[in-house]
Amino acid sequence: MIWIRALLYMCVAVTVEVAFNGLRSFVTRNYDLPAQEKAGTRKRDFNLPAQTSLWMLPVYFFGLGFALEGLLGLLAGLSWWLAVPLLGASIIVFEFVVAWAFSLFGHEPWRYTRGWHIHGWTRLDYFPYWCLFAWGFLYAHGIITRWLT
């Protein structure tokens, strides 16, 4: 059953990533080019463009399906308001470790250039978003576990 749960977590995570990136590109006016940012000529894109990397599929499959679910077992006795920030911080650490591992092979599925980032591999200012994701993961975990039993 863990393989099915991991597959479902992966599908949910890819959906959340695409939705987050699409909304972020709209809210931040998607300033990717320094000249456009400086000139302030970039307009909001109502198409909500978003992308992800195929490298993220195994990251989400193993990261959420095994690592984060295993961490839930350790945090089982905690209330949600303690578990959510711990899971959010764990996701930041996991993101850093995965980016570092990819860099060993010359891959860079993501590179942060803005915000409070560490080597461009993880963003500390995304902690509230990761906590929101962790809360959703707790909720989804409960639904998926009940659905599969």
48 vs 143: CA distance, rounded Å: 29
Residue in this structure with the two tokens 């599969």, named with its chain if needed = 148
Residue in this structure with the two tokens 């930041």, named with its chain if needed = 92
Looking at the predicted structure, is the pLDDT value of residue 98 above 90? yes
| pTM of the shown model | 0.82
Tokens of 3: 């393989």
What pLDDT digit, counting tens, does each position of 58-77 carry? 999 998 888 888 898 899 88
Strand residue runs (E) in the chain: 117-118, 122-123
35 vs 26: CA distance, rounded Å: 18
Q: Torsions phi, psi of 54, nearest 5?
A: -65, -20
Looking at the predicted structure, is the pLDDT value of residue 93 above 60? yes
SS3 120: coil
Burial of 65 (0-12, 13-18, 19+ CB in 10 A): buried
DSSP state of 124: G
What pLDDT digit, counting tens, does each position of 15-55 carry? 999 999 888 877 775 545 555 555 555 667 778 888 888 99
Mean pLDDT over all residues of the chain?
87
Strands 122-123 and 117-118: antiparallel
**pLDDT value at residue 15:** 93
